[in-house]
Structure 1
Amino acid sequence: MEPGRPGGGGGRPSDRLDPEDRKRFGRALAEAVAGADPVAVPELLCRACVEILDVTGASVSLSDGAAGILWWSSDETAGRLAETQYSLGDGPCRRAIELVAPVMASDLSAAPDAERWPVFAERAVELGVRAVFSLPLGTDAVAVGTLDLYRREPGPLSGRDQALAFPASDAITYALTRVESAAAEDDDGFASWLDAAEDDREEINRATGMVMVQLGVDAQHALARLRAYAFAEGRTVSDVALGVLAGEVRFDD
């Protein structure tokens, strides 16, 4: 399926959702996070998506402008999918951010989806994943990240799931905004759920700088070398960055 808002006919599929279905969906999301620590809300919403939609797993990735950084996932496979796209700098979530529009890959083991991101598709199938659906988080003009849904069986999202996926992405966008605001306003130094990801990004930035010096290349090429090394070694970019910082991995040997 080509990137873009599924359903056609103007507006989101959720605009045509039955009012009672919309209410039930809203209650389900509210119940999933009722009384929860704000830090846990996005992860709980990911899990709620799995309960409500016909998908196997879900993750949320935020973008730093050059690569996505995974912050929550419903299960290990969802996390590995997000990390694979981060390491490759390519995949449905990257495309969804670029387009600020959904990207639907209904069968990664066959054309045309397998040909759009051949390396990512191969890795996804190795993980037992056949379909990935990425929805942008943010506004209609700017995407700050994606809600990524995956399924072990091939096939498109049903009309019902398309209609429900957009309110889910809106709820997660709202949760991101609310929790980040709470962190900024807390006088006691509330530990934002952004902190861990910011630490990861800082480590990667520092490692990229060291690779720049070692190879005499610019930041873009240094990050590409980090990604390529991580992919070849079957490691995450974050893990390789830590190795660079510790002097265990060098690129000028």
Structure 2
Amino acid sequence: MTGPRAEAAALAARHIGQARPSQYLGEACRAALHGSYSVGLTLAADAALAQRVSLCCAGPLAERGESLQINLGEGPCVQALGQRAPVFADDLDNADTTRQWPVYAQQATAHHIRAAFALPVLNGTISAQQAGLVLTLYRDRPGPISGADLRTAQDHAEAADLLLLTAPAQIEDDLAHAWLLPAGAVVHQAIGMISYRHTLTTGQALALLRAHAHTQNTDLSTLAQAVVHDHLTLPDTPGPASSGPAES
């Protein structure tokens, strides 16, 4: 495997020592691109994004684009990690392009995301089981990414990977001990309650929660709120959820 380009090393050196180097790097990437993009940067411990650290959301589309992938467990970032290769979705209305993640595509376009480009860095600087680091570009119009913008994004993705070498212990601790979802603590709490009620692992509980959010066309955090605060009990298989307190 070839090492990072000199441009990536120079970018990383420029941001070492800052309080939030990955966020600054994401903002720098967005400013350097010729086209108008939002930039998301995610470090995932598994391809399903069940455990991940959100390193950067720069621009108006990035936070929603990233959180949809976590809520649904599908999207260009998930595909890029699973296939260990870049994903270039230049038109989210194209069913052939989005056949692996049709629900994400439908919800993303509803939030004005029309194209997404996911670039994984698969060097594995954190641990052998790490799925990888992904830089994702989001755009509000369809069309291919230019060669110049692709090289710029790849340089910034490699620079982010190099920056992780400056604080690997902290990232490793985050991945080992946290379910870092954008919905916050209520999702964590709901996963714990579902795991206890249904005698499931936390991974299985998250999958069940996602499946019901999927079938009910609702946000993961909204469903988690109902589980935690409204005593909603989910059936064992996806379908119309029934409300009411869990049996003791």
Same fold (TM over 0.5): yes
Q: Report which of the two has the higher share of helix.
A: 1
Map residues 84-99 of structure 1 onto 2, 5 A cutoff: 84-99=68-83
Runs (5+) with no aligned partner, structure 1: 1-10, 16-21, 185-191
Out of 33, 57, 62, the residue aligned to residue 43 of structure 2 is: 62
- Look up the match of 1:225: 208
- Superposed displacement of residue 200, structure 1: 3.5
- Look up the match of 2:111: 127
Q: Structure 1 CA distance, aligned partners of 2:36 and 2:10?
A: 19
Out of 23, 36, 40, the residue aligned to residue 18 of structure 2 is: 36
- Distance 1:72-1:245 versus aligned 2 partners, 3 A rule: farther
Cα shift readout 1:107-140 (whole Å, capped 9, x = no counterpart): 1112322433211111111111111011113417
- Distance 1:45-1:234 versus aligned 2 partners, 3 A rule: farther
**Secondary structure of 1:96 counterpart:** helix
| Sequence identity percentage | 27
Letter in 2 for 1:67: L
**Secondary structure of 2:113 counterpart:** coil
Q: Structure 2 CA distance, aligned partners of 1:28 and 1:174?
A: 9
Contact 1:215–1:251 (CA under 8 A) maintained in structure 2: no
Tell me whether 1:115 sits opposite 2:115 in the alignment. Answer: no
Out of 161, 164, 168, the residue aligned to residue 149 of structure 2 is: 161
Cα shift readout 1:47-81 (whole Å, capped 9, x = no counterpart): 11111122410111222324253342003421111
- Look up the match of 1:251: 234
Letter in 2 for 1:98: G
**Secondary structure of 2:26 counterpart:** helix
- Superposed displacement of residue 29, structure 1: 6.5
Aligned length: 223
- Superposed displacement of residue 207, structure 1: 3.4
Q: Structure 2 CA distance, aligned partners of 1:72 and 1:242?
A: 25
**Secondary structure of 1:90 counterpart:** coil
Letter in 2 for 1:146: V
TM-score (norm 1): 0.71
- Distance 1:178-1:29 versus aligned 2 partners, 3 A rule: closer
- Distance 1:217-1:36 versus aligned 2 partners, 3 A rule: closer
Letter in 2 for 1:57: S
Q: Cα RMSD between the aligned structures?
A: 3.6
Q: Structure 1 CA distance, aligned partners of 2:232 and 2:44?
A: 26
Cα shift readout 1:31-56 (whole Å, capped 9, x = no counterpart): 5x37632xx11111111111112241
TM-score (norm 2): 0.72
Letter in 2 for 1:144: G
Cα shift readout 1:71-110 (whole Å, capped 9, x = no counterpart): 4200342111111111111111111111221111111112
Contact 2:76–2:118 (CA under 8 A) maintained in structure 1: yes
Runs (5+) with no aligned partner, structure 2: 236-243
- Look up the match of 1:189: none
